[in-house]
Every structure is written in C-alpha cells, then in structure tokens.
C-alpha cells in the first residue's frame, strides 16, 4: 500500500537527520537508519507505550536498538519525540566528545537509551532479560502495574552472532511473548551481500526455537503496523522480518554495502535528500512534521497518568517496595542478616567448599532480599546456586526466583544485564569460572554499563582436580581483574564468602564475580562486626606485635596454605604476617595510606595463588616471591596437583626463607 504523505514525511525526518548527523561527524552508519525509518516510525508513532517527557516511567515499553551502529536512528527518535536533553545541538555533534550522541548507544550516558549496544548480538540477547523481568515483576506485583512490551530492532549481524541463538532459544522456551523483534532484513553487511557468508532461513530458525515469525515489507507502514498488532496478541515471541533497502532513498548507494558505514558525502547526501523530498537546511525538520513527532512523543502521557492512578491504589507498603526495587535500593535488613550468619558460622566451625558456603549465605540472603533472582547455566548442583525454598520459573509461571538458563553462559550473562536494567531485580547466575570466557562480552558490557549482576563462578582453580586443564582456570583471575569496574572476589572461607556476597549485593555501580572452590576449606576467620573484605584485603594473622620479616599474601583456597607456611616460618624464628586478599583490584583501589598499611613494610613479600602471577607485582613488587601457576593445569586428584605444581606451605616457606636469608 502506498504511504500517506505524512507517513512518508515522518520517516524522512529520521532519514534526513541520519544523513546530516553522519555527514557532520564524517563517520557513522547512515544506511541502517535510512532503511529502518519506516519501521521505526510505525513503532514509535503507533505502538510504543512511552511518554517522552518521563523517559524513566516504570511501565513504559522498552525499545532496544540491537543494531547499535545505527545509533542515529535512536538519537533522531529521541530528539523528534522530545526526550529531555536530546536537542538538535546533540545531533549536530554526533560522535563528538562530551555530547549525548556517542558512536554507539550508551544507556549510562544518554537518557532514553535502555541498554548499551554495538557489539552485535548483545542487544537482542539483553532484551531477553528485559522480557524476563517484565514477566517476573508482573507475576509479583500484578498486571495492573507491570504490563509492557520489549521491542527490538535487530540487524543481519545481530542474528548471525552466536549469542543470538542462545537468546532466541531462551525466549522461545520461556514463551516470552511480549518480546517483539523487528529484523532489518536488508541482506547487506560490510563485506557485501549476506549471500557471501550466510544462507540461514531465519524464519524457520526462529520458528524452530518456538517463535512466531513472519515476513513483511519494511517500507509498507500499514503492513508493518498489522504485523506488530498481530505480534502483540501472540502467545509466543515474534520475529517480524522487515524486508528493507539499506540506505533507502540514496540514488547511488541504496541496497549496497557502501551505504552501511560511511557518510554519503556531500553530493550523494544532496541527491538523496532531493530524491526523498527533504528540503531545508541540515538538521531542519519542517514544523508540521516536528509537531506530529512531538505529539507521538506525548501520546503515552495519558497511559502514564492512568498507570500512576492504578499504582496509587496499591497499599503504601507495596508502593514503597516497588519503588525501592525499581530504584535499586538494597534492603535494609541485608547487613544484619549477614552478620547473624557470620556469628552462626563462627559458633560452629566446619570445613566447607566456598561454593557450599555461598549456598549457606544465599539461604539467608534470599529471605531478606526478594529482588534477588538466582539461576545457573546448567550445573545447578555444582554451583550451589539454588538456595533453600527457591521456586523455579517455568514458561507458565514467573512467580519463582530460580532460572534454569540451560547451557548458555553468554545468553545468561546478556539476559542478566537486561533483568538488571529493566529494574526490580538483582540477578545472580552461575557456571564454572573457566567459562567466564564464554560469557565475557556480556560481562564486559555489565562492567561498562555499571549493571550489578553477580556471577557465581565455581571450580575456581586446579583445585577442581580430575576434570583437568580444560576446566581449570589459570589466567581467569587476572583477565577478570583487568576489566575496569569489575570486582572479583575469591573468598577463603565461609565467613569471607558471606562478606563477599554482602559486598556484591550492596554494589549499585557494577558487577561482581565470586570465584569459589570445589574443595573444602577450613574456617579461618572470626565473625567480626566489620566486613573485613570491604577494603579488598586485611591482615588475617599478625606477628603479635613485633616487626614482620615476611608478609604472605593469598586469596581463596591458598590462604590456608599461607597460614600453614606462616607456622613453618614462625617455627624457624621468622616473624610472619598473613594478609588475606579476597579482592586484589579492590585492595589496589584503596587510598595510598590504607593500601600501605595493609600491605605493610616487611622486607620479604610472597604471594600465593593457584593462578598466574599477572597483577600481583603491584603488591609484592617485581622482586617479590610468587607461588602459583606458570602454565595450564593437569588432570588428577587435587592433592597430587598442588604437590605437582609446587603450591604447598613448604614451597611458600622456602620462597620466603630464600629471600629472608638473602
Ligand atoms: C560482535 C561484533 N562484531 C563486529 C562488529 C563490527 N560491525 C559493525 S556493523 C557490522 C556489519 C553489520 O551488518 P548488518 O548487521 O547487516 O548491519 P547493516 O549493514 O544492515 O547496517 C559489523 C561487522 C560489531 N559491531 N560487533
């Protein structure tokens, strides 16, 4: 069907702004916004439930631009609909430092951006988490206050990335029917036509994963509208394959990879605008078109007010709880519950693997923190993530608090970001520590965005034993510690584990990895009122007053080894302290005087950790001793492995003595 003149002009406003933004920046991606302008116009002017003046309204529909390279599409929409702060000045400074229009959308930088996208595949996978959160929150607070859709614009590249398979399998299995993906089916990527490297039938692929999947002409606005309307009624998630032309309107570049990722250039930009009937100066939107867009932006104001009225009918307690959870304010009772748990542990010291200690802490935490949603990428009995009393989420019932993610570490980590960003939940999910590699791109985005999922990463060293080097992390502590804004904790016993959980859950500006053991560890700590892990490290055993000749530093399972080495050294008359370092990077982030006090000035410093040395020099210095791993592990019983790789109390004492005796 032919577009009405106004439909056309609304879409062309996006095209014009995208052309101008990319021209001004002299870089960027005009093709995708030009191609998807019709689809976006339909979504934003007829369907998306939002109120541009209140971009944080809790029950808004979520819109995720998975194809983040087409960011000018999103910025144009935010400007056209009137989201506060997104002025034309921002568009004119696309991709410039200090403006709200970075190369790829950043949710922590620009109001109205729901999640950071750019790494292809992440947006659609994060969206699964948004859709999960919507269902879970609706199950807990009722449809009266939680009832919205999650819309995604995804590109060919999003669907080619492996993580998208994990995402669509999850959405299909859990019947996340309020997730609607609009696929920019333009058949073009950077290298040329998709046929160079791909022959997947996406419709069949999605259908086989439990989706509804339909084709539509992505330039027929009424057909797109009909497809979205049908999708809203579906009991399955829907893929709408929108056949589009990349760079639509550009006489010489439309339909080619030339339109994908470079400015059209002044001549082609001029010709494209003429072709589309766009007149006026760059960045100028005709007054009647802007007015129509602004009306679209306030279209949802009534729905928001109606929601506020419905929300006000909830009990005051329920309102306060909903607001607390959406604002990510942690429950006041958490600290008290952890302290009581620490005292109980100290009263009955038992050797326990820290994965088991984690479960013990969780049994207490889930009682006081209803927003904590746990799960695991399979391996539930190994990760000990299913705390007492937690009910599983099923496609039919989202009241539970435990998610079986299947063997999908990457999909889980991406969805955990979405769950957190949606609001109302803190997700924690488990797998083996070595498989952080499989989830890394989403973990990195969590750190960048400042979302606060907790990764329960068990089997954290050669200590896992017989499974061998494929499963034994050696470089993972260093690699994860190197991610900015990431916090890695490797607790040494049940009390430290409880403290680390508290710190992880009290964080509101970034994610946490808990690296936990398979093997039993003795209780080494007392139940102090203070959380001793809060500064990343602390003196676990001192010299009893005199000056230390040696300080031993260790994390996790090697703290016990350091304590035994200290006994050996003390017997040899060498006064030795032990500093437990549950978080190396948190220690290094302390103010100089705090750090200096914890590290101390013993002439000999030795660190022991069943991992590579990388990173420890900042504490022990280049001349310090290090007992750990220099290569991959091996398959065998744990005791044999520690002896084989020389990670023993005797070896630590020897390393210290050699330096002490000069
Ligand atoms: C994980 C990842 N790999 C590579 C890139 C670099 N990249 C950006 S856009 C793009 C091609 C995308 O093609 P398509 O998804 O079809 O987008 P379109 O050409 O339709 O704009 C690539 C490879 C990326 N952003 N993310």
Average pLDDT over residues 159-174: 98
Average pLDDT over all residues of the chain: 98
Give per-residue burial for 502-517: e unless 16+ CB within 10 Å, then b.
bbbbebeebbbbbbbb
Residue among 120, 152, 167 to mutate when testing ligand 1 (max atoms within 8 A of CB): 120
Q: Which helix (H) or strand (E) holds 429?
A: strand 426-432
Q: Is 246 in the pocket of ligand 1 (CB under 6 A)?
A: yes
pLDDT value of residue 3: 82
**94 and 72 Cβ atoms separated by less than 8 Å:** yes
Q: Enter the DSSP assignment of 3.
A: P
Q: Is 255 in the pocket of ligand 1 (CB under 6 A)?
A: no
Average pLDDT over residues 148-160: 98
pLDDT value of residue 395: 98
Residue 409 annotated as catalytic: yes
pLDDT value of residue 87: 98
pLDDT value of residue 254: 98
Q: What is the pLDDT of residues 632-643, one digit of tens each?
A: 999 999 999 999
Going from the Cα of 169 to the center of ligand 1, the distance in angstroms, rounded, reads 22
Going from the Cα of 255 to the center of ligand 1, the distance in angstroms, rounded, reads 16
Residue with the smallest CA separation from ligand 1 atom 7 is 120
Q: How far apart are CA 195 and CA 209, in angstroms?
A: 23
Q: Which residue has the tokens 């053991």?
A: 517
**72 and 44 Cβ atoms separated by less than 8 Å:** no
Q: What is the pLDDT of residues 467-514, one digit of tens each?
A: 999 999 999 999 999 999 999 999 999 999 999 999 999 999 999 999
Q: Which residue has the tokens 């002044």?
A: 266
Q: What is the pLDDT of residues 332-368, one digit of tens each?
A: 999 999 999 999 999 999 999 999 999 999 999 999 9
Q: Enter the DSSP assignment of 306.
A: H
Going from the Cα of 64 to the center of ligand 1, the distance in angstroms, rounded, reads 16
Q: Is 156 in the pocket of ligand 1 (CB under 6 A)?
A: yes
Q: Is 31 in the pocket of ligand 1 (CB under 6 A)?
A: yes
Average pLDDT over residues 521-539: 98
Residue among 69, 124, 126, 247 to mutate when testing ligand 1 (max atoms within 8 A of CB): 69
pLDDT surpassing 60 at residue 146? yes
Q: Two tokens at 380?
A: 């539930």
CA proximity to 609, closest of 644, 584, 636, 640 = 584
Atom of ligand 1 minimally distant from the CA of 158:
15
Q: What is the pLDDT of residues 210-236, one digit of tens each?
A: 999 999 999 999 999 999 999 999 999
Residue with the smallest CA separation from ligand 1 atom 15 is 157
Going from the Cα of 188 to the center of ligand 1, the distance in angstroms, rounded, reads 10
Residue with the smallest CA separation from ligand 1 atom 9 is 69
Residue 662's pLDDT band (boundaries 50, 70, 90)?
A: confident
599 burial (CB, 10 Å; 0-12 / 13-18 / 19+) is buried
User: How long, in residues, is the chain?
Assistant: 662
Atom of ligand 1 minimally distant from the CA of 118:
25
pLDDT surpassing 70 at residue 400? yes
pLDDT surpassing 90 at residue 2? no
Global pTM value? 0.98
Q: What is the pLDDT of residues 572-614, one digit of tens each?
A: 999 999 999 999 999 999 999 999 999 999 999 999 999 999 9
Atom of ligand 1 minimally distant from the CA of 121:
1
Average pLDDT over residues 34-49: 98
Catalytic residue among 409, 560, 585, 609: 409
pLDDT value of residue 1: 55
Q: Is 446 in the pocket of ligand 1 (CB under 6 A)?
A: no
């Amino acid at each position: 069907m032919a577009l009405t003149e106004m439909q056309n002009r609304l879409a062309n406003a996006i095209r014009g702004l995208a052309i101008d933004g990319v021209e001004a920046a002299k870089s960027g991606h005009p093709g995708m916004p030009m191609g998807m302008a019709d689809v976006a116009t339909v979504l934003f002017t007829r369907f998306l439930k939002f109120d541009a003046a209140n971009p944080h309204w809790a029950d808004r529909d979520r819109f995720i631009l998975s194809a983040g390279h087409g960011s000018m599409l999103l910025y144009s929409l935010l400007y056209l609909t009137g989201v506060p702060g997104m002025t034309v000045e921002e568009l004119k400074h696309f991709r410039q430092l200090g403006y709200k229009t970075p190369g790829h959308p950043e949710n922590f930088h620009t109001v109205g951006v729901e999640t950071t996208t750019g790494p292809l595949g992440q947006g659609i996978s994060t969206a699964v988490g948004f859709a999960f959160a919507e269902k879970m929150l609706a199950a807990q607070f009722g449809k009266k206050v939680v009832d919205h859709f999650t819309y995604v614009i995804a590109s060919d590249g999003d669907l080619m990335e492996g993580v998208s398979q994990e995402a669509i399998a999850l959405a299909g299995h859990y019947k996340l029917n309020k997730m609607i993906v609009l696929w920019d089916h333009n058949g073009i990527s950077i290298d040329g036509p998709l046929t160079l490297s791909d022959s997947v039938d996406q419709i069949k692929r999605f259908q086989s994963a439990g989706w509804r999947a339909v084709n539509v002409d992505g330039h027929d606005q009424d057909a797109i509208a009909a497809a979205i309307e049908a999708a809203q009624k579906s009991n399955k998630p829907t893929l709408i394959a929108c056949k589009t032309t990349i760079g639509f309107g550009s006489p010489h570049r439309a339909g080619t990879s030339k339109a994908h990722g470079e400015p059209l250039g002044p001549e082609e930009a001029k010709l494209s605008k003429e072709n589309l009937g766009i007149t006026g100066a760059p960045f100028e939107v005709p007054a009647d078109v802007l007015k129509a867009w602004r009306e679209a932006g306030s279209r949802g104001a009534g729905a928001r007010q109606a929601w506020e009225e419905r929300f006000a009918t909830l009990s005051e307690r329920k309102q306060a709880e909903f607001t607390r959870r959406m604002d990510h304010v942690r429950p006041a009772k958490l600290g008290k519950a952890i302290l009581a748990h620490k005292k109980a542990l100290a009263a009955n010291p038992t050797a326990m693997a820290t994965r088991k200690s984690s479960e013990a802490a969780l049994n207490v935490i889930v009682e006081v923190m209803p927003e904590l949603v746990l799960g695991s990428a399979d391996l539930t009995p190994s990760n000990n993530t299913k705390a007492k009393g937690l009910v599983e989420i099923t496609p039919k019932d989202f009241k539970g608090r435990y998610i079986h993610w299947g063997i999908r570490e990457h999909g889980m980590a991406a969805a955990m970001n979405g769950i957190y960003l949606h609001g109302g939940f803190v997700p924690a999910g488990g797998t083996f520590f070595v498989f952080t590699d499989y989830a890394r791109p989403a973990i990195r985005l969590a750190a960048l965005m400042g979302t606060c999922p907790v990764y329960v990463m068990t089997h954290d060293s050669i200590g896992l034993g017989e499974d061998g080097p494929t499963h034994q992390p050696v470089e993972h502590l260093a690699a994860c510690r190197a991610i900015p804004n990431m916090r890695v904790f490797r607790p040494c016993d049940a009390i430290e584990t409880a403290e680390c959980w508290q710190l992880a859950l009290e964080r509101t500006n970034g994610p946490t990895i808990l690296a936990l053991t398979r093997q039993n560890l003795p209780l080494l700590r007392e139940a102090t009122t203070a959380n001793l892990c809060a500064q990343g490290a602390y003196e676990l055993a001192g010299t009893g007053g005199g000056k230390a000749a040696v300080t031993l530093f260790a994390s996790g399972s090697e703290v016990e080894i350091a304590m035994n080495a200290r006994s050996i050294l003390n017997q040899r008359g060498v006064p030795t302290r032990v500093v437990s370092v549950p978080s190396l990077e948190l220690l290094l982030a302390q103010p100089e005087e705090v750090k200096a006090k914890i590290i101390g000035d013993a002439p000999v410093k030795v660190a022991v950790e069943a991992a590579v040395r990388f990173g420890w020099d900042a504490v022990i210095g280049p001349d310090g001793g290090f007992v750990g791993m220099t290569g991959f592990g091996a398959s065998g019983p744990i005791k044999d492995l520690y002896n084989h790789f020389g990670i023993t109390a005797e070896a630590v004492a020897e390393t210290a003595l050699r330096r002490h005796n000069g």
